[in-house]
Each structure stands twice: as structure tokens, then as C-alpha cells.
């Protein structure tokens, strides 16, 4: 009886065919929906709006072997690595730098002000110039030239 069950189990696995691995959560099309002045921006100098205006509404596509989209997001050969960052490491360590300059700065509070509520923030290191920080599976943020851009997955 045990031998028969094993044969049936193996037969059902074989009939199901080879398993297809699901794409990682970050693969897909992401639209730049909003931009806010970054906490690290100089409060006495307004950031350049031209780049923000050019990027709003554009799509960034994260593919297995390439990132397509407007400059500076496009990348021919990304080297993806998913990491868990603490708030101080967001935006290439900008919050940590701010805290070193002023001990009153709270990286966690800054992260919360941008929508990050978890103690560990899932981050996609691309191996290119941009890291992607995920609020959740359909919302991500990127820091670029004194703005924090929000991307929504389509």
C-alpha cells in the first residue's frame, strides 16, 4: 500500500510538469507618481524642478536583466540584491549623515514621514546608481537630487 501511494504521488508530480519560478516581487512596470522635497535637501535652496517635471508620470520597468526608463533609472546590466535596511540606511545613508551632523535628527521619524512604518525596509540594490526602497509590494521610493520619488506598480 505504501509503495502504491508513493507511485501515485510521483505520478501526480510528474503530470504537473516542471515548476515555474515566480518573478521576484519587484519585477514589472513602475510609474513615477509623486515627488516631495527630500529631508536632506538644503532648506534655503529650492531643488531644480526641471528634472522632477521631466520624470513625473514616466515608467520605469524592472526586468530580470535590465532596467528601462528615463535617465538616470535605465541600466543595461543590473545586479539585483534584496536587502533589509534600517531607517538610517535609506537613500544611500542620507538619514544617518543627517543624524551625524545633528544628533536631534531621528532617522526613524524621517522614514515614517515618508511612509515607511516597518523597522526593516526592504531595499533593492540594483548595482546601478539607484536603490529602490519598498513601502510595500506596490509602492516604492527612490531618492534623486534632493527629491524623494514615489513609484507605484502597475
Instruction: Give me the count of residues in the chain.
Output: 154
Q: pTM score, two decimals?
A: 0.83
Is residue 16 a part of any domain in this protein? no
Our count of domains for the chain comes to 1
Write out pLDDT tens, residues 19-68. Answer: 556 778 999 999 999 999 999 999 899 888 999 999 999 999 999 999 99
Range of the domain at 37: 22-153
Is residue 34 a part of any domain in this protein? yes
Is residue 78 a part of any domain in this protein? yes
Is residue 13 a part of any domain in this protein? no
In angstroms, the CA 45 to CA 87 distance is: 25
Is residue 115 a part of any domain in this protein? yes
Region for residue 106 given its phi and psi (left: phi exceeds 0; alpha: psi -120 to 50; beta: otherwise): beta
* Interior angle at CA 16, CA 12 and CA 22, nearest 5: 140
Contact (CB, 8 A) for 80 and 127: yes
Looking at residue 48, what is its pLDDT? Answer: 85
Amino acid at each position: 500500500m505504501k509503495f502504491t501511494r508513493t507511485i501515485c504521488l510521483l505520478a501526480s508530480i510528474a503530470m504537473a510538469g516542471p515548476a515555474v519560478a515566480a518573478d521576484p516581487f519587484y519585477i514589472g512596470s513602475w510609474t513615477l507618481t509623486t515627488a516631495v522635497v527630500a529631508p536632506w535637501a538644503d532648506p534655503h535652496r529650492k531643488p531644480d524642478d526641471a528634472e522632477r517635471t521631466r520624470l513625473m508620470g514616466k515608467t520605469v520597468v524592472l526586468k530580470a536583466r535590465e532596467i528601462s526608463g528615463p535617465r538616470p533609472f535605465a541600466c543595461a546590466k543590473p545586479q539585483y540584491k534584496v536587502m533589509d535596511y534600517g531607517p538610517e540606511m535609506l537613500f544611500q545613508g542620507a538619514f544617518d549623515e543627517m543624524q551625524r551632523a545633528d544628533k536631534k535628527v531621528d532617522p526613524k521619524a524621517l522614514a515614517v514621514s515618508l511612509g515607511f512604518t516597518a523597522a526593516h525596509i526592504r531595499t533593492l540594490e540594483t548595482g546601478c546608481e539607484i536603490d529602490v526602497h519598498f513601502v510595500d509590494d506596490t509602492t516604492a521610493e527612490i531618492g534623486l537630487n534632493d527629491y524623494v520619488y514615489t513609484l507605484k506598480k502597475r
